Chain A
Amino acid sequence: AQSVTQLGSHVSVSEGALFLLRCNYSSSVPPYLFWYVQYPNQGLQLLLKYTTGATLVKGINGFEAEFKKSETSFHLTKPSAHMSDAAEYFCAVIGGSSNTGKLIFGQGTTLQVKP
């Protein structure tokens, strides 16, 4: 069975600073990993995903994540925080033994950006 753990339910960063949001996964099969962002009162938007191939994944708006199999991690980073990055971030893995594509989510991390 797959599971996802996001360390840190709240992260605060200063505008312009680098930030990192942590995600560790558990999977008995090669994982497909995702990061989503959720702005207030909106649905989730995909930032980036890892399926196969290059382990450093680049997403929209300057976001990156690196798949590290040895650490079972998929941490999200951005070199310079903008005020508009304040949102909730979810890491997810495709779960289940069947090919349903259902996503297993972490608990989420709320990012606060201070001016």
Chain B
Amino acid sequence: GAGVSQSPSNKVTEKGKDVELRCDPISGHTALYWYRQRLGQGLEFLIYFQGNSAPDKSGLPSDRFSAERTGESVSTLTIQRTQQEDSAVYLCASSSPGGEQFFGPGTRLTVL
């Protein structure tokens, strides 16, 4: 596709359930980023992938959060045992090395 895509666009889950969020980056982009945007706040960095390795995981808020990437393609962000404070929009971005980050439309996660 022409841009970064994310699925699902919306996810409502119950507290304690696990969720998986998917990001399809722009083809050829080796760098991939996950950010979280809580209501009324700016974006918080979560994790950075270069290829399929994650040299910077410093933004993951707890061990309930994990992410993986297959080659230089799809990435999945997994949140285990979701809590209400996990409710946010999760944004993915991809870029070529040193290049502009292109953002997807995000996944809006609501934890009831």
Contact = CB atoms under 8 A, between A and B. Distances in A.
B82 interface: no
A43 interface: yes
Q: Main secondary structure on chain B at its contact with chain A?
A: strand
A100 B56 contact: yes
B41 to A, nearest CB: 6
Given A43-B104, A102-B33, A102-B56, A108 B41 contact: yes
B55 interface: yes
Interface residues of B, number: 27
A100 B59 CA distance: 13
Interface residues of A, number: 25
Given A107-B41, A108-B41, A98 B105 contact: no
A46 B100 contact: yes
Interface in A55-93: 90, 92
A42 B105 contact: yes
A107 B38 CA distance: 10
Interface stretch (B11-19, B42-50, B63-71): B42-50
Interface of B: 4, 31, 33, 35, 40-45, 48, 50, 55-56, 58-59, 91, 93, 95, 98, 100-106
24 contacts: A4-B42, A9-B40, A36-B103, A43-B4, A43-B102, A43-B103, A49-B100, A90-B42, A96-B56, A96-B58, A98-B55, A100-B56, A101-B95, A101-B98, A101-B101, A102-B48, A102-B56, A103-B33, A103-B43, A105-B43, A105-B44, A107-B40, A107-B42, A108-B41
Given A43-B103, A95-B45, 20 more contacts: A4-B42, A43-B4, A43-B93, A43-B102, A43-B105, A44-B93, A45-B103, A49-B100, A101-B31, A101-B48, A101-B95, A101-B98, A102-B45, A103-B33, A103-B35, A103-B43, A103-B45, A105-B42, A105-B43, A108-B41
Interface of A: 4, 6, 9, 36, 41-46, 49, 90, 92, 95-96, 98, 100-108
